[in-house]
Structure 1
Amino acid sequence: MMLYSLAKGIMTLVLKVKGCKITGLENFPAEGPVIIACNHISLWDPIIVGCSMPRQVYFMAKEELFSIPLLGQILHGLGTFPVKRGKGDIGAFRKSVRLLKEGKVLGIFPEGTRSKTGNIQEAMAGIVLIVNKSHAPILPVKVYGARGLLTQKRGKIGIIIGKPFYADNLEIPEKTENSREWLANKIMDVVNEM
């Protein structure tokens, strides 16, 4: 927790200097479990999201990052945990649900990888499994201007926080072949439309 507070303090200062704009902070739940579903355009996205939220955000990150000396220890210290991409990672799933059952904030990039174009990509259905098991509200978040954060002009970086919603309130069209895929992509549609 001490590392998280220190890192957040330093990076929040960097974001202030860069003129990072935060819109919709009033939509962030003050307590209880919440799943942040965010677009993914840059390596800076988790930092921007984490620094913009008043509560600690626990992110999933690809397991390969944890094998990099020092970086893996830092990620663990920040509350980040590994996920095996492209596979059904039961350990990451259980950790996600446990964090939400404890009333914490889980950060997920449903696209699974950064978008090279900046456009929203197909979402992975894993988020729906977590949503269905935890029954936590989804908080749509959109990051913009994060590419080249340190060289980006002041005031071009920001985050939009939408209103939380429950997946149960989304009506799946009849004859939908894969309801999980449809729901995952619908979540990202909400992010994209902000």
Structure 2
Amino acid sequence: MNLYKIGKALCSIIFYPMYRIKVIGKHNIPSKGPVIICANHISNIDPPVVGITSNRNIYFLAKEELFKNPIIGGILKKVHAFPIKRGMRDRNALRKGLGVLKEGHALGLFPEGSRQKNGEVGKGLAGAGFFALRSDAAIVPCAIIGPYKKFKSLKVVYGEPIDMSEYREEKASAQVVTDRIMEEIRQLHKIHQS
């Protein structure tokens, strides 16, 4: 059994009962082929929560600072995470992300780049749009509706894949595409908040 499966099993045992996780729309994640799961970001626990509620093994971009600790960095690499430099265009990370998609895997992104501690859906950075435009991946919006409080309900809602054909044909800007993705996340958040 690999470390990803072990980590997923352990996180499921801990987080499902602790946060009473309710998953909606998991069937919207294609079971095969490249997919980008774009979620809002409210906690450091978001990546494992998206990981355990998805039907796919997900490769995540993680801030470079986390990899400076050899133990944490080693674990992150074994659970399909790879580093990205924040605040600048990181060509290695972009190349790696596109490679993951080209191989038909799932890529997990938090387009806001940093946590929105108020629980609201913030503005996304252009990176999500870049990956959406440069690949043939299905784009699945995901709303994490918290807060993370012990024994209080946490919802993870996966929306229908967003049709990117028009944006790809028109060669829309990465930011325009990210804005559309964030709007879909915002709508899921609004509909399922109560």
Partner of 2:191: none
CA distance in 2, matches of 1:144, 1:169: 29
Deviation at 1:129, TM superposition (A): 1.5
- Provide the TM-score with structure 2 as the length reference: 0.89
Whether the 8 Å contact between 2:133 and 2:167 is mirrored in structure 1 is: no
CA distance in 2, matches of 1:21, 1:129: 30
Q: Which amino acid aligns with 2:104?
A: G
Q: Which amino acid aligns with 2:3?
A: L
* 4+ residue runs over 3 A deviation: none
**Alignment gaps of 5+ in structure 1:** 172-177
Number of paired residues? 186
Whether 2:156 is the aligned partner of 1:159: answer yes
CA distance in 1, matches of 2:167, 2:134: 16
Q: Secondary structure in 2 aligned to 1:55?
A: coil
Partner of 1:2: 2
Of 160, 171, 181 in structure 1, the residue corresponding to residue 175 of structure 2 is 181
Deviation at 1:146, TM superposition (A): 4.8
What is the RMSD computed on CA atoms of the aligned residues?
Answer: 2.0
Deviation at 1:135, TM superposition (A): 2.1
Partner of 1:118: 119
CA distance in 1, matches of 2:182, 2:92: 24
Q: Which amino acid aligns with 1:87?
A: M
- Provide the TM-score with structure 1 as the length reference: 0.89
**CA displacement 1:125-168 (0-9 Å, x = unmatched):** 11111111112110000112253xxxx24241120010012323
Whether the 8 Å contact between 1:21 and 1:155 is mirrored in structure 2 is: no
Q: Which amino acid aligns with 1:162?
A: G
Partner of 1:65: 66
Q: Which amino acid aligns with 1:158?
A: K
Whether the 8 Å contact between 1:111 and 1:124 is mirrored in structure 2 is: yes
Deviation at 1:25, TM superposition (A): 1.1
Deviation at 1:68, TM superposition (A): 2.0
More helix, by proportion? 2
Q: Secondary structure in 2 aligned to 1:49?
A: helix
Q: Which amino acid aligns with 1:77?
A: K
Deviation at 1:170, TM superposition (A): 5.3
Partner of 2:109: 108
Of 168, 180, 185 in structure 1, the residue corresponding to residue 165 of structure 2 is 168
Partner of 1:44: 45
Whether the 8 Å contact between 1:136 and 1:166 is mirrored in structure 2 is: no
CA distance in 2, matches of 1:139, 1:102: 18
CA distance in 1, matches of 2:120, 2:151: 22
Whether the 8 Å contact between 1:41 and 1:115 is mirrored in structure 2 is: yes
**CA displacement 1:59-82 (0-9 Å, x = unmatched):** 000001100241111111101000
Partner of 2:96: 95
